[in-house]
């Protein structure tokens, strides 16, 4: 399958800071930068930087970065679902997970999250795939944001809706384990009907197992 990657970069200024949004970037691009110390939601910053470089090197992988000069202050990842996840069971070539989005604390007021994912979808790069993201409340920075579980979910839904991702029902056990968890999906306009039907069967695996 053809995974379209068109590098783009956009600079913007806010509160005296000049931020660059760019991607998809290469592993070497990532390795030449420094990870902001607050980007530790998933693992230590240096380890996460290595993980980003690894994803960037995958045929389907794409990393969109936000950086302040040579410091990475935010990123979003796209890749095939992990083989341990239910979403990988169908081995679909046109099913891509928006796996992680993270912005350093001091930069969260700049609208970086929305800029990151909008650039990822720009120029029709993801029209031939189904992009999904699984939102789990235990990954959310409730303490740092000061938001309730439900307000944080509304914020994440609004963010994903900025690129036309919408809520989809599912019986996936992890998502169903808490009412705040949710599945957000965007089906590209060039995705064939058989892939959409296959994804529907994945969303309701419990139903089709009986």
pLDDT in tens, 72-123: 999 999 999 998 888 998 899 999 999 999 999 999 889 999 999 999 999 9
pLDDT in tens, 5-45: 999 999 999 888 899 999 999 999 999 999 999 999 889 99
Tens digits of residue pLDDT in 160-180: 999 999 999 999 999 999 999
Q: What is the pLDDT of residue 17?
A: 87
CB 168 within 8 A of CB 87: no
Position 27 in a domain: yes
Is 73 inside a domain boundary? yes
> Which residue has 């997970």 as its token pair?
97
Q: What is the DSSP string of 72-140?
A: EEEEEEEEPPPTTSGGGTT--TTEEEEEEEEE-GGGGGGTHHHHHHHHHHGGGTTTTSEEEEEE-GGGS
Question: Could you give the 3-state DSSP secondary structure of residue 193?
Answer: helix
- The pLDDT, as a whole number, for residue 141 is 84
**183 lies in some domain:** yes
Q: Looking at the domain assignment, is residue 2 inside a domain?
A: no
Structural domain includes residue 1: no
Structural domain total, the chain: 1
With respect to residue 29, please indicate whether it lies within any of the assigned structural domains. Answer: yes
Contact status, residue 58 vs residue 27, Cβ threshold 8 Å: no
199 contact partners, CB below 8 Å, separation of at least 6? 90, 92, 95, 130, 185, 187
Cβ atoms of residues 184 and 165 within 8 Å: yes
Model-level pTM?
0.92
Range of the domain at 202: 8-208
The radius of gyration computed from the CA coordinates of the chain, to the nearest angstrom, equals: 17
pLDDT at 209: 44
List the CATH number of the domain containing 29. 3.40.630.30
Instruction: For residue 161, tell me if it sits in a domain.
Output: yes
146: left (phi over 0), alpha (psi -120 to 50) or beta: left
User: Is the model's pLDDT at 210 over the cut of 70?
Assistant: no
Beta bridge partners, 98, equal 78
């Amino acid at each position: 399958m053809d995974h379209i990657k068109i590098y783009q970069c956009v600079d913007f200024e806010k509160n005296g800071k000049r931020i660059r949004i760019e991607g998809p970037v290469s592993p070497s691009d990532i390795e030449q930068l420094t990870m902001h110390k607050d980007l530790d939601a998933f693992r230590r910053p240096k380890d996460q930087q290595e993980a980003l470089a690894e994803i960037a090197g995958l045929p389907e992988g794409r990393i969109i970065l936000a950086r302040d000069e040579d410091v990475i202050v935010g990123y979003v990842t796209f890749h095939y679902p992990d083989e341990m996840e239910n979403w990988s069971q169908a081995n679909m070539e046109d099913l891509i997970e928006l796996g992680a989005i993270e912005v350093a604390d001091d930069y969260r007021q700049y609208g970086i999250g929305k800029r990151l994912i909008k650039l990822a979808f720009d120029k029709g790069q993801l029209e031939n795939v189904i992009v999904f993201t699984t939102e789990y409340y235990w990954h959310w920075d409730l303490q740092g944001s000061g938001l309730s579980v439900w307000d944080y979910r509304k914020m994440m839904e609004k963010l994903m809706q900025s690129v036309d991702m919408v809520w989809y029902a599912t019986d996936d056990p992890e998502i169903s384990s808490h009412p705040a968890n949710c599945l957000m999906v965007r089906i590209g306009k060039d995705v064939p009907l058989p892939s959409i039907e296959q994804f529907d069967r994945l969303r309701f695996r419990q139903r089709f197992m009986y």
